[in-house]
Amino acid sequence: MVSLLDIIGPVMVGPSSSHTAGACRLGLLARGLIGGTPQSGLLQLHGSFARTGEGHGTDKALVGGLLGFRPDDERIREALQIAEREGLDYKFEKVTIADAAHPNTVRINLELDGRKATMLGSSLGAGRILVQEIDGYPAEVTGNLHTIVLVAEDKKGSIAKITGILAEHDINIATLRVSRKERGGDAFMMIECDEEPDKKAGEELRALDWVRWTRRLPKVSGG
Amino acid sequence: MYKALADAIKDAEREKKSLAQVALAAESRDQGRPVEDIRAALMRALVVMRSAIEKGLVGDLYSASGLVGGDAAKLRTSAKGPLADTPFRDILTRALAVQEVNAAMGVIVAAPTAGGAGVLPAILTGLAKAKSVSDEKVVDGLATAGLIGAVVAERASLSGAEGGCQAETGAAAGMAAGAATEMLGGTPSQVGHAVALTMQGTLGLVCDPLGGLVELPCVFRNATGAAIALAGIEMALAGITFAIPVDEVIDVMGEIGREMDVRYRETAGGGLAATPTGRRLAKERLYQIKRADG
């Protein structure tokens, strides 16, 4: 459903809604995935991101997102210098991810305090984005809502337990999707929430002994 | 949101409301947000639009490649030209200003996209100044523009990579023309004709930026897009009608976009980007960007 505020918006640093605003949003989601400003980041650019990214500030926007800047933050222009000051060691690579991949696609590989995270996402135009893969699990995250991602042992009743915890924190679930790499393998869950999940809800989910890890990804799009 | 402008126009006429009111009511229903909340968000967008125009008029901004910049200030101060001291000239200047800010990585409102972001603020704020229109009415204009853009997104496209420049500055011109026609007292039906009269003039427009960057010709296409929108507004307010219904004009824009060769859809493979000079400039300037960053 198209919203008026998607058409008259977003407010953003130029020059391109797909190459700049969308790239920044992908960076913000990757930052959520690693849980803060990463110490190192390898950003693999595919297609048009690789070909015209420099002139569109795609590099600055991606790194700006990793630093926590929103698409309308003018610090994006100096994001590469700020990253150096803040100890974010970034590197860009031009790659072909797959011939059929969307032209504006990036794989982001991050490290923070020994933890690693990878995310594959595309900028679809007009600032809209789609994350297709997280740590190798098939994903579908748009950033239009607050999203909880978690990896859990494939266990009966796990979804009921998780939705119960969120209900106790008065968080309404908009969508819930589960994927896995193979049968009997760990389950990867993406839970889009109408309200921003608080830190305590995240901690309670993490405390479940069959949950391997969980992260809260910010809402980065929508009015 | 509406999927046909004809439906919105019908509702507005039946309920004796403006298209802005009809659009705000539909958005409020769709998103579960109060109308005042949506108006406040549009007001924030208007503030950013005005601030981008002010920044762009100074004339000290240049794009990363140096290919564009400083031209809004040239147009603002020139005493020559048949449109000097007219609202028309002021509007062209504002369109250039916003796009120069965009190319220099300044803050703008994508409306509908960053590449076409100059047309709507230029037309609405320029006419508001010339005709002393209140901010409240300009916000109504943004709502009407959003409605028109939503219909174009639904029926055709708002992406140069999908539909060429007719889907970016062309759509922006249609949105601006419809919004301004209502802002200046036009009826919902006249809004429809303003959009049709404007977008018939941008059909087939290709997206051919040098090096694939939102710079050249994008900056200038926002000014020419605004000029076409002014022609549409002028004709519609005079009671001129366009025989092909507006939704059909939008549909054919989408059809032409789908038929358009990939060279003409933001890939820098055709059009101005592929001229001998276009290729040479892109090569030189992209090298310069890499050196500056590296």
CA B255 from chain centre, in angstroms, equals 20
Note whether A55 contacts B107, CB cutoff 8 Å.
Answer: no
- CA-nearest of B213, B180, B260 to B67 is B213
Cα A72-A93-B210 angle, rounded to 5 deg: 60
Task: Check residue B194 and give its pLDDT.
Answer: 98
If DSSP codes are grouped into helix, strand and coil, which group holds residue A107?
strand
Any residues with CB less than 8 A from the CB of B156 and at least 6 apart, and which? B163, B167, B171, B250, B251, B253, B254, B257
> Of B161, B144, B164, whose CA–CA distance to B252 is shortest?
B164
H/E element, A146: strand A146-152
CATH code: domain A11-135 is 3.30.1330.90
Alpha carbon distance B193, B9 (integer Å) = 11
Task: Write out chain B's pLDDT in tens, 294 residues.
Answer: 999 999 999 999 999 999 999 999 999 999 889 999 999 999 999 999 999 999 999 988 998 888 899 999 999 999 999 999 999 999 999 999 999 999 999 999 999 999 999 999 999 999 999 999 999 999 999 999 999 999 999 999 998 888 999 999 999 999 999 999 999 999 999 999 999 999 999 999 999 999 888 999 999 999 999 999 999 999 999 999 999 999 999 999 999 999 999 899 888 899 999 999 999 999 888 766 666 654
Burial level of B159, CB count in 10 A (0-12/13-18/19+)? buried
- Considering only alpha carbons, which residue of chain A is nearest residue B43? A8
Mean pLDDT computed over A94-100: 85
CA atoms within 13 A on the CB side of B168: 35
Cβ-Cβ contacts under 8 Å for B284 (sequence gap 6 or more): none
Chain A positions contacting chain B at CB under 8 Å are 1-21, 48, 51-52, 54-57, 59-60, 72, 74, 76-77, 80, 103, 125-127, 223
| Per-residue pLDDT tens digits for A108-167 | 999 999 999 999 999 987 788 999 999 999 999 999 999 999 999 988 888 999 999 999
* Structure tokens belonging to residue B153: 């997104």
Task: State the Cα–Cα distance between residues A12 and B109, nearest whole angstrom.
Answer: 6
Q: Is B243 helix (H, G, I), strand (E, B) or coil?
A: coil
Q: What is the pLDDT of residues B171-186, one digit of tens each?
A: 999 999 999 999 999 9
The beta-carbon neighbor of B146 closest among A1, A4, A20 is A4
Per-residue pLDDT at A184: 81
pLDDT tens readout for residues A179-214: 888 888 899 999 999 889 999 999 999 999 999 999
Question: Which chain B positions have a beta carbon within 8 Å of A8's beta carbon?
Answer: 42, 45, 109, 111-112, 120, 142, 145-146, 149
Structure-block tokens of residue A62: 């991606």
Is pLDDT above 90 for A56?
no
Tell me if A14 and B214 make a contact (CB, 8 A cut-off).
Answer: yes
Distance, CA of B182 to CA of B138 (rounded, Å): 10
Q: A with B: how many residue pairs have Cβ under 8 Å apart? A: 154
Instruction: With CA atoms as reference, report the closest residue to B248 among B1, B5, B9.
Output: B5
Give the dihedral sign, CA B206/B211/B212/B214. negative
Q: Six-digit token pair at B170? A: 């062309």
Please indicate whether, in this complex, the C-beta atoms of A7 and B143 are within 8 angstroms of each other. Answer: no
Closest residue, chain A, to B33 (C-alpha):
A223
Mean of per-residue pLDDT scores for chain A: 92
Please list, in sequence order, all residues whose beta carbon lies within 8 angstroms of the beta carbon of residue B108, skipping any fewer than 6 positions away.
A11, A12, A14, B48, B49, B52, B98, B101, B102, B114, B117
CATH number at residue B131: 1.10.4100
For chain A, give the longest Cα–Cα distance: 50
Do residues B182 and B18 lie in contact, with contact meaning Cβ atoms separated by under 8 Å?
A: yes
Predicted local confidence at residue B294, as pLDDT: 46
Domain range for B230 is 5-293
- Can you say whether the dihedral through the CA atoms of B136, B146, A193, A212 is positive or negative? negative
Q: CA-to-CA distance for A108 and A118, rounded, in angstroms?
A: 6
- Distance of alpha carbon B35 from alpha carbon B191, whole angstroms: 22
Q: What one-letter code names the amino acid at B10?
A: K
> In chain A, where are the structural domains located?
11-135, 144-223
Q: Which fold has domain A144-223?
A: Alpha-Beta Plaits (3.30.70)
Contact (CB<8Å) B1/A1: yes
**SS3 of A102, please?**
coil
Q: How many helices (H) and strands (E) does chain A have?
A: 7, 11
Domain count, chain B: 1
Return d(Cα B10, Cα B30) in angstroms, integer. 19
In a mutational test of the A interface, the residue from B99, B113, B125 whose CB has the highest number of chain A CBs within 10 Å is: B113
DSSP annotation of A86 = T
Report yes or no: B138 and B43 within 8 Å, Cβ to Cβ.
no
- State yes or no: pLDDT of A100 exceeds 80: no
